[in-house]
Amino acid sequence: MSSALSHWLSFSSWWLLLPFVMLLVVAAFIVAFVLLLYMISPLISPKPLKLNGAHVVVTGGSSGIGKCIAMECYKHGAFITLVARDEHKLVQAKKEVEKCAINDKQVVLCISVDVSKDYNQVESVIKQAQEKLGPVDMLVNCAGMSISGKFEEVEVDRFKKLMEVNYLGSVYPTRAVVTTMKERRMGRIMFVSSQAGQIGLFGYTAYSPSKFALRGLAEALQMEMKPYNIYVTVAYPPDTDTPGFAEENKTKPLETRLISETSGVCQPEQVAKVVVKDAVQGNFTSSFGPDGYMLSALTCGMSPVTSITEGLQQIVTMGLFRTIALFYLGSFDSIVRRCMIQREQSKAADKRE
């Protein structure tokens, strides 16, 4: 036995195997190289968009995050079309955006239209804007609204309303710009979702789905648009200090407020800076702060990647972030349970009085 083993290990038998081993190593290298090429091909970063002189259309550009996005783009020399319904707010916003000019050629155009109602109307106003300021280089879908409340207390028609404004209100303007973008083989399309479009939260049974829908739209659209050099960005802001947020807070359930507080409140100027930078770079995902970063890595699923570092970070952090997420989920459950117990106790006390 021991002599057979020593014979097996003797140099002469190894030398015989060497050509096969080398062949195997070469084959393994070739396979690894091809696999690497396959992995890296979707990771090649796009060329950044030049904002100077570009035409940027911002829906919801008369208030809050949309207005700050318009101002941020104006600071980089863009021409802006603001889209919203209320003409008075549009005129006010136009004045504010104009203050951010960096040259005297820049123009701000205002268009009053409801982005969620009639596609033909949206298409015709986008056409008008293109005639005045040239083809759209970047579309920012920021028009939106939020309604919060317990599932059974939200009026049934509000579910439809939120899908119309937040989802269809992003589909229509996008549909109106893509043909020209494809012809020009360039463009950027941004969808402003929300952290509530990455996780479903207490009180957001109507709002969250309308923001989740944007992610599905963005993924499918990005796959269609990539060969035409058009890049899609989905932004996931946390609570942001805007008129829309103040309005939402008037009727927000306590649970929703306590859970959302985890992620803090941002300023719209900060949000605008980050999303504009991400859209210019062609990043698919745009998020804010440590919680936003973790949420995006955790919910990356099959969404496109735009840099090698992003892909590697997702691979390495997934397990850790899921572990952290379980603690967050535990704390959200306990917030909901405590609020329920408190409500029941105060109801019982009211009855006794």
Ligand X SMILES: NC(=O)C1=CN([C@@H]2O[C@H](COP(=O)(O)OP(=O)(O)OC[C@H]3O[C@@H](n4cnc5c(N)ncnc54)[C@H](OP(=O)(O)O)[C@@H]3O)[C@@H](O)[C@H]2O)C=CC1
Ligand Y SMILES: CCCCCCCCCCCCCCCC(=O)[C@@H](N)CO
Interface pick for ligand X out of 49, 56, 64, 110 (rule CB under 6 A): 64
Catalytic residue among 74, 207, 231, 236: 207
143 binds ligand X per the rule CB under 6 A: yes
Would you call 204 a catalytic residue per the annotation? no
Catalytic residue among 194, 211, 236, 252: 211
Would you call 207 a catalytic residue per the annotation? yes
76 binds ligand X per the rule CB under 6 A: no
Would you call 211 a catalytic residue per the annotation? yes
196 binds ligand Y per the rule CB under 6 A: yes
66 binds ligand X per the rule CB under 6 A: yes
194 binds ligand X per the rule CB under 6 A: yes
169 binds ligand X per the rule CB under 6 A: yes
Three-state SS letters, the chain: CHHHHHHHCCHHHHHHHHHHHHHHHHHHHHHHHHHHHHHHHHHCCCCCCCCCCCEEEEECCCCHHHHHHHHHHHHCCCEEEEEECCHHHHHHHHHHHHCCCCCCCCCEEEEECCCCCCHHHHHHHHHHHHHHHCCCCEEEECCCCCCCECHHHCCHHHHHHHHHHHHHHHHHHHHHHHHHHHHHCCEEEEEECCHHHCCCCCCECCHHHHHHHHHHHHHHHHHHHHHHCEEEEEEECCEECCHHHHHHHCCCCHHHHHHHHHHCEECHHHHHHHHHHHHHHCCCEEECHHHHHHHHHHCCCCCCCCCHHHHHHHHHHHHHHHHHHHHHHHHHHHHHHHHHHHHHHHHHHHHHC
Catalytic residue among 63, 148, 193, 263: 193
Site string for ligand Y, 265-304 (x = CB under 6 A): --------------------------x--xx--x------
Work out what residue 62 binds among ligand X, ligand Y, none; the CB cut-off runs from 5 to 8 Å by kind: ligand X
Q: Applying CB under 6 A, which part among 1-9, 96-104, 142-150, 272-280 lies near ligand X? A: 142-150
Active site residues: 193, 207, 211
Query: Which parts of this chain interact with ligand Y (CB under 6 A)?
Result: 146, 194-196, 199, 201, 238-239, 244-245, 248, 260, 262-263, 291, 294-295, 298, 321, 324-325, 328
Residue numbers at the binding site for ligand X (CB under 6 A): 59-60, 62-66, 84-86, 89, 114-116, 142-146, 165-166, 169, 192, 194, 237, 239-240, 242-245
